């Protein structure tokens, strides 16, 4: 792993503007591929991380969450919200920022926007899961829910798995139209659809990424044929799911961190002893991924702190040789560590 330089009082900060520049400098699909590999590398060493379900503050409108983890050398956290009704007010459903710190001193070493980075890491995590679970040679995906995450999800599946065709559906035709425009010229064949049934026709991978704070039924059991891989992204907090529970009775379900997913994922609908496989065990070869052509695999994604840790670590490595960051004066730097009071006098008029 790259060594962090000594912490300083001035903390590198990656703004939204600089994150956009960084992504274009590297190339979006390259970022998605590299992130997929960085996340997979951290899933391989899953046991070396501190893990806890995220700390969530729920309200009627949504949720605000803190997502911390540490590998003993580096600590990270992300602040993220999920407010499905925001869109009607011209605001995003999900926004985020995050921080990396050196464990040995506690000093921050990176502060960054994470709204774009969350879309990138969520798409990369989906691709990583699909690499292990989707039918070999999958070329068509259905993308149900065409909001902020959608294009990133489709492009990660193209970059990492070689998906050639995406079939789009959203209850809002404007969202479909937006995704069609954004994906034109991407090299993907794009088909807008008028129903979820039409969208999943011929798709080997079905991604659901809708936002609605309710037990929604984006897919019913009779819609899902044998052999597909379902990537369920949108059900990620208590009372918010996307799949009918009968699908889960037929599927083999793979999760990030069971104590968090049992509260937040599709499996909140199931009995507490409903069997799941931890995705990191599939990555290390300890557990089986896809085992048959007719098997339905389900990645019940809720988003876990280790994926943010990986993404933050990636940004820190990739931004260091560029000018795409500013230095923020957010840590006090007294001349003598105990003379904080003396330092205050520097600013006396």
Ligand X SMILES: NC(=O)c1ccc[n+]([C@@H]2O[C@H](COP(=O)([O-])OP(=O)(O)OC[C@H]3O[C@@H](n4cnc5c(N)ncnc54)[C@H](O)[C@@H]3O)[C@@H](O)[C@H]2O)c1
Size of the site for ligand X (CB under 6 A): 28
Continuous H helices in 112-257: 115-133, 150-161, 173-183, 196-199, 245-250
45-67 exposure pattern, b = at least 16 Cβ within 10 A, e = fewer: ebeebebebbebeeeeebbebeb
Which of 113, 234, 254, 276 is the binder for ligand X (CB under 6 A)? 234
Backbone phi, psi, residue 249, to 5°: -70, -25
Alpha-carbon distance of 21 to 34, in angstroms, equals 17
141 lines the binding site for ligand X (CB under 6 A)? no
Q: How far is the CB of 145 from ligand X (least distance, A)?
A: 4
Q: Which residues contact 218 (CB under 8 A, 6 or more apart)?
A: 144, 145, 196, 208, 210, 234, 242, 243
Task: Decide if 236 is catalytic.
Answer: yes
Restricted to residues 83-102, the positions that interact with ligand X (CB under 6 A) are 87, 93-94
Q: How far is the CB of 149 from ligand X (least distance, A)?
A: 4
56 lines the binding site for ligand X (CB under 6 A)? no
Contact map string, positions 236 to 265, toward ligand X, x by CB under 6 A: x-----------------------------
Which of 68, 82, 98, 289 is the binder for ligand X (CB under 6 A)? 82
112 lines the binding site for ligand X (CB under 6 A)? no
Nearest to 40 by CA among 151, 131, 152: 131
Q: How far is the CB of 256 from ligand X (least distance, A)?
A: 8
Using the contact rule CB under 6 A, the part of the chain among 7-15, 127-135, 142-150, 198-206 near ligand X is 142-150
Alpha-carbon distance of 181 to 41, in angstroms, equals 34
302 lines the binding site for ligand X (CB under 6 A)? yes
314-347 exposure pattern, b = at least 16 Cβ within 10 A, e = fewer: bbbebbeeeebbeeeeeeeeeeeeeeeeeeeeee
Residues for the chain: how many in total?
349
Q: Which of 42, 170, 236, 252 is the catalytic position?
A: 236
Nearest to 106 by CA among 70, 158, 155, 160: 70
69 lines the binding site for ligand X (CB under 6 A)? no
Restricted to residues 161-220, the positions that interact with ligand X (CB under 6 A) are 170-172, 175, 209-212, 216, 218
Catalytic residue positions, numbered: 236
Instruction: Name the site residues for ligand X (rule: CB under 6 A).
Output: 82, 87, 93-94, 118, 122, 144-149, 170-172, 175, 209-212, 216, 218, 233-234, 236, 301-303
């Amino acid at each position: 792993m790259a060594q962090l330089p000594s912490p300083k009082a001035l903390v590198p900060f990656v703004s939204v503007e600089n994150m956009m520049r960084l992504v274009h400098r590297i190339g979006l699909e390259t970022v998605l591929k590299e992130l997929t590999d960085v996340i997979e590398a951290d899933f391989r060493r899953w046991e070396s991380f501190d893990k806890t379900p995220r700390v969530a503050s729920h309200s009627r409108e949504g949720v605000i969450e803190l997502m911390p983890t540490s590998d003993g050398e580096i600590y990270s956290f992300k602040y993220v919200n999920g407010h499905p009704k925001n869109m009607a007010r011209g605001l995003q459903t999900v926004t985020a920022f995050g921080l990396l710190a050196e464990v040995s001193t506690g000093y921050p070493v990176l502060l960054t926007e994470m709204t774009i980075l969350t879309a990138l890491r969520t798409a990369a995590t989906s691709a990583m899961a699909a690499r292990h679970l989707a039918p070999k040679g999958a070329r068509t995906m259905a993308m149900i829910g065409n909001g902020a995450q959608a294009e990133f999800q489709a492009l990660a599946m193209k970059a990492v798995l070689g998906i050639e065709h995406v079939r789009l559906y959203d209850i809002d035709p404007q969202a479909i139209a937006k995704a069609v425009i954004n994906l034109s010229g991407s090299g993907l064949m794009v088909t807008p659809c008028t129903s979820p049934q039409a969208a999943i026709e011929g798709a080997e991978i079905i991604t659901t990424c809708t936002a609605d704070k309710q037990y929604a039924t984006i897919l019913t059991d009779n819609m899902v044929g044998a052999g597909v891989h379902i990537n369920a992204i949108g059900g990620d907090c208590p009372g918010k799911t996307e799949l009918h529970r009968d699908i889960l009775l037929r599927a083999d379900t793979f999760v990030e961190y069971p104590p968090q997913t049992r509260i937040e994922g599709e499996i909140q609908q199931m009995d507490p002893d409903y069997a799941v496989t931890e995705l990191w065990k599939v990555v290390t070869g300890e557990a089986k991924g896809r085992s048959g052509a007719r098997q339905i695999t389900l990645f019940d994604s809720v988003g876990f702190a280790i994926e943010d840790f990986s993404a933050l670590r990636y940004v820190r490595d990739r931004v260091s040789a560029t000018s795409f960051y500013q230095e923020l004066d957010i840590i006090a730097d007294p001349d003598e560590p105990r003379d904080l009071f003396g330092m205050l006098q520097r600013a006396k008029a």
